[in-house]
Amino acid sequence: MMVLILMVGIFQSWNIALSIFNLCLISAVMTMGANIQWGYAGLINFGIMGYTALGGLAAVLISVDPVQEAWRAGGFDILMSLWLIVVMVLVIRFILKRFEKSKIRTYSIAAIIISGILLIRFSAEPGIEAIEAVDPAKTGFLGGFGLPIIFSWIVGALFAGGLAFIVGKVALGLRADYLAIATLLISEIVIAIIKHEDWLTRGVKNVIGLKRPAPYEVDLQTTDWFIKLVEKFNAGKLSVIENLADRQAALNQLVIEGSSVFVKLCYSGLFLVVVIILLILTQKALYSPWGRMMRAIRDNEEAANAMGKNVVKQHLLIFILGSAIVGIAGAMLVTQDGLFTPGSYRPMRYTFLIWVMVIVGGSGNNFGAILGGFVVWFLWIEAAPISLFLINFFTAGIPETNALKAHLIESVPYFRFLLMGLGLLFIMRYRPKGILPEKIEIK
């Protein structure tokens, strides 16, 4: 796999190779999250998109500087509504604890929720409008805490885990395929909220220019040690050029290229650390008594239950853990892009593609998950060039003006769906356990 990425580096450019590599690492983290749920415990979670987006939201809320003006304009109303939500939840909990299950209880809870939502809407409305009116072209939202963006990786995990707790509480009792549909729809609801609550996330107006954990290219290009480094690396190439002015120009070009490669390398380093930590932890978990129990629950729920294992609790736990890992990946993704675009969260890319990675890589095997993330992401990106090459190869005899050929070349971007679909179908058929199947050594 690394050879393939190196080949991209040599034939296309190091920049592309590194961005593929970085996204491969992020995909690997997401896949590990989904793999924990599906491979360890047999829980099907089609809500990966929602957790990814929440991780991204965490990156925004942590790193962006707070917008003081917006806080003054509507902060009070927002805090009031938050307080109202807390009160509502507490009241419902109290009712659930205090009274026996009955029709009246159900109806009164429904009434509390509906009136609570109306009340919150009316109390928050002026605040939201005031916040969104604050310099809408640049801010128009509350901003965040202005902390280094690295913290958001942890906070993203917490957010995603929190959502998973709520989702798990309500939906985990469902049958497998119902659970898939329910989680898919819940993730759509999450995206709808992130897209349209402008006071919190700027919605479809996007948040750009997030802080970085890595240096900026522009700064690097003016730093002495970096220029020297590039000079050293390319000494052979540069010494060929006789003219001093030309040599300087070539060096400048190299420095510009080198700076973006360097920044990407910084990200790769950070992401690699995350992947390795997660890999060690998940491997340890897999071979621990806890992992054994999870497999027992997956393979036979009733038997595990009869042995005194709390199936519901363990399911909830693993659902939260897996989702939290996906949340980390979501925060990493936004960190690397430096922007948060709620409109770009689509189930095809963030849920189904990740599932293809899990299935192709091998469910229940952490190395399989990482491999799946790498292979599938690589193919997803490189499918277009590959299919372009194939089309040109097979239609070499046909003139350029041929309508069919032109049409095919025009629709090259969609061959990636075909490739993914066929790949998934073939793996499911001939290697249902994935490329690297689950392998449990009994020690």
Which residues in this chain contact other proteins in the complex, by CB under 8 A? 44, 170-171, 174-178, 180-182, 184-186, 188-189, 192-193, 195-196, 348, 352, 355-356, 359, 408, 410-411, 414-422, 424-425, 428-429, 432
Cβ contacts of residue 16 below 8 Å, gap of 6+? Answer: 8, 9
Identify which of residues 304 and 408 has a Cβ nearer to other proteins in the complex.
408
> Which of 258/322 has CB closer to other proteins?
322
Distance in angstroms (rounded) separating the CA atoms of residues 324 and 161: 5
CB of 356 to other proteins, least distance (A): 8
Strand partners, 207: 340
Minimum CB–partner distance for residue 289 and other proteins (Å): 27
CA distance 193 to 49: 13
Q: Among residues 42 and 258, whose Cβ is nearest to other proteins?
A: 42
Of residues 264 and 315, the one with the C-beta less far from other proteins: 315
Q: 220 with 266: CB under 8 angstroms?
A: no
Q: Which residue lies nearer to other proteins by CB, 192 or 440?
A: 192
d(CA 198, CA 175): 36
Query: CB 167 → other proteins: shortest distance, Å?
Result: 9
Token digits of residue 6: 């190196």
Least CB distance from residue 166 to other proteins, whole Å?
Answer: 11
Cβ 439 to other proteins, closest distance in Å? Answer: 20
* Residue 432 C-beta: closest distance to other proteins, Å: 8
CA–CA separation, 275 vs 373, rounded Å? 12
Q: Which is nearer to other proteins, 134 or 419 (CB)?
A: 419
Is the CB of 97 or the CB of 429 nearer to other proteins?
429
Distance CA(362)–CA(112), nearest Å, equals: 46
Shortest Cβ distance from residue 113 to other proteins (Å)?
Answer: 10
Shortest distance (Å) from residue 170 CB to other proteins: 5
Query: CA 109 to CA 93: how far, in whole Å?
Result: 10
Q: Indicate the residue among 155 and 180 with the shorter CB distance to other proteins.
A: 180
User: Can you spell out the DSSP letters for 373-410?
Assistant: HHHHHHHHHHHHHHHHHHHHHHTTTS-TT-HHHHHHHH
CB closer to other proteins, 310 vs 411: 411
The three-point CA angle 371-424-342 to 5° equals 75
Residue 341 makes CB contacts below 8 A (sequence gap 6+) with 206
> Which residue's CB is nearer to other proteins, number 184 or number 436?
184
Q: Identify which of residues 136 and 421 has a Cβ nearer to other proteins in the complex.
A: 421
In the complex, the smallest distance separating the C-beta of residue 114 from other proteins, rounded to whole angstroms, is 10
Quote the distance between the C-alpha of residue 165 and its chain's center.
Answer: 18
**What does the alpha-carbon distance between residue 189 and residue 49 come to, in Å, rounded to a whole number?**
11
Burial of 146 (0-12, 13-18, 19+ CB in 10 A): exposed
Q: Name the minimum Å distance from CB 161 to other proteins.
A: 19
Give the CA distances from residue 371 to residues 52, 79, 326, 356, in Å, rounded to whole numbers and listed in that order.
20, 45, 17, 12
Residue 93 near residue 170, CB atoms below 8 Å: no
341-381-17 Cα angle (round to 5) = 95
What residue type is 321 in one-letter code? L
Would you report the helix, strand and coil content of the chain in percent, each value rounded to 5? Answer: 80, 0, 20
Q: How many residues does the chain have?
A: 443
Q: Minimum Å distance from CB 163 to other proteins?
A: 13
